[in-house]
Amino acid sequence: MGLIPGGTSDALTIWAVSDGRAGIEAQVLGLAEAVARLRPANIVVKRIGWRAGLGRLPWRLIPPWARAGAAIAPPWPDIWIAAGRATLPLSTRVRLWSAGATLVVQTQDPRTGLAPFDLVIPPEHDGLVGPDVLPLVGAPNRLTEARLAAELARFADRLASLPHPRVALIVGGRSRAFALPTAHAARLADQVAKAVQAIGGSVLVSFTRRTPPAAAEAMRARLSALPGLIWDGGGENPYFAFLAAADHILVTEDSTNLAADAAGTGKPVFILPMAGRGGPRLRRFHADLEARRITRRFAGELSSWVYPPLRETDRAAAEVLRRHDARK
């Protein structure tokens, strides 16, 4: 769908393949960009869809020729990085189509045999192991110190006057395991407002596409009297600028991506409870972050601590390149 140039004519070609959903695409792009920081590379974004509702079938029953969206055809890339169920009918065949020339990398647990992949990079809390498996704490992301600095500079005129301590509030929403009812969202907002008032700070609020509109409105109404900035979804997304500007970060517990991004800053991260029970995999993830002294459960007060920023994407990129080079 798009080319992100990063090198010369002899640079690696990397395809970042997903169904285009923001959280999934961020994983493949984040890993591709991390590889490109180590070696000149051109990144091509590929967004996959399937015709006539075929995407709802078990992936093994989806014929590759029924694809919609990005062209998947020779010349094949040096490295294929994919994520998500929609990519599996293609990822499982790329080594065959390229006669083994393409290194095939799949993030997340593909929940199938691992033989078609050269490297699988799942979250550690999935419990997947094997010689071609590299578990990460969380998932690959696009957060780097350089990006944080650049995004902070882009939004400096709107953020510079806000008092410290600044509290970034990143709100997820509905998922299979969690919900954000309006009443629950209102209670969370009241608790956050009280904590911010207690330290004399300001708020930086960002909702995601999964945040129910009624929940977002309830939180907005309770936080708008505080100094700060509440992104309304229009214009450029200040998400990374908020992470860069914050002294404390609060994220809802429904998303590994949000928590992993926040953990990459080295700043105190508080986890906000959602309605719902979650699942064992996500509980293991949050327990791991707490054990590493990265996060704490939000209990109505804000405090500070330090830890080494999480840099799992860079670790994965080094392994991808090691395996690519070993094939020569």
- The candidate with the shortest Cα–Cα distance to 209, out of 264, 255, 151, 259, is 255
pLDDT-derived band at 279, boundaries 50, 70, 90: confident
- The structure tokens listed for 252 are 């809802």
* 89-97 long-range contacts, CB within 8 A, separation 24+: 89/59, 89/60, 89/62, 89/63, 89/64, 90/17, 90/48, 90/64, 91/17, 91/116, 91/117, 92/116, 92/117, 93/64
Place of tokens 């990129």: 317
Place of tokens 């999964």: 210
Q: Are 81 and 31 in contact (CB under 8 A)?
A: yes
pLDDT for res 4 = 60
H or E element at residue 42: strand 41-50
On the question of pLDDT at 272 being above 70, the answer is yes
Domains of the chain: 2-137+313-326 (3.40.50), 145-297 (3.40.50.2000)
| Residue 239: partners with Cβ closer than 8 Å, 6 or more residues away | 170, 206, 231
- The candidate with the shortest Cα–Cα distance to 174, out of 218, 223, 215, 206, is 215
pLDDT for res 278 = 77
- The structure tokens listed for 288 are 């791991």
pLDDT for res 79 = 98
Q: Which residue has the higher pLDDT, 184 or 51?
A: 184
pLDDT for res 233 = 85
- The structure tokens listed for 5 are 């140039």
pLDDT-derived band at 99, boundaries 50, 70, 90: very high
pLDDT for res 175 = 85
**How far is the C-alpha of 161 from the C-alpha of 184, rounded, in Å?**
31
> Alpha-carbon dihedral of residues 76, 61, 124, 32, nearest 10 degrees?
20
On the question of pLDDT at 8 being above 60, the answer is no
* CA distances (Å), origin 226, targets 123, 201, 222: 37, 8, 9
pLDDT for res 77 = 97
Q: In percent, how much of the chain has pLDDT > 70?
A: 94
Bridge partners, residue 3, by sequence? 44
Return the number of other C-beta atoms located less than 10 Å from residue 22's C-beta. Answer: 12
**How far is the C-alpha of 118 from the C-alpha of 114, rounded, in Å?**
8
| Residue 255: partners with Cβ closer than 8 Å, 6 or more residues away | 23, 172, 175, 208
Q: What is the pLDDT of residues 18-48, one digit of tens each?
A: 999 988 999 999 999 999 999 999 999 999 8
Q: What is the pLDDT of residues 128-148, one digit of tens each?
A: 999 999 999 999 999 999 999
pLDDT for res 242 = 98
What pTM was estimated for this model as a whole? Answer: 0.86
Q: What is the pLDDT of residues 217-266, one digit of tens each?
A: 999 999 999 999 999 888 899 999 999 999 999 999 998 989 999 999 99
Give me the chain's average pLDDT, please: 92
- The structure tokens listed for 20 are 């285009």
For the segment 183-192, the average pLDDT, to the nearest whole number, is 98
pLDDT-derived band at 328, boundaries 50, 70, 90: confident
**How far is the C-alpha of 171 from the C-alpha of 184, rounded, in Å?**
12
Identify how many contiguous H helices and E strands the chain contains and give both numbers. 11, 13
DSSP structure string for 217-234:
HHHHHHHTTSSEEE--S-
pLDDT for res 3 = 55
Place of tokens 């960002």: 206
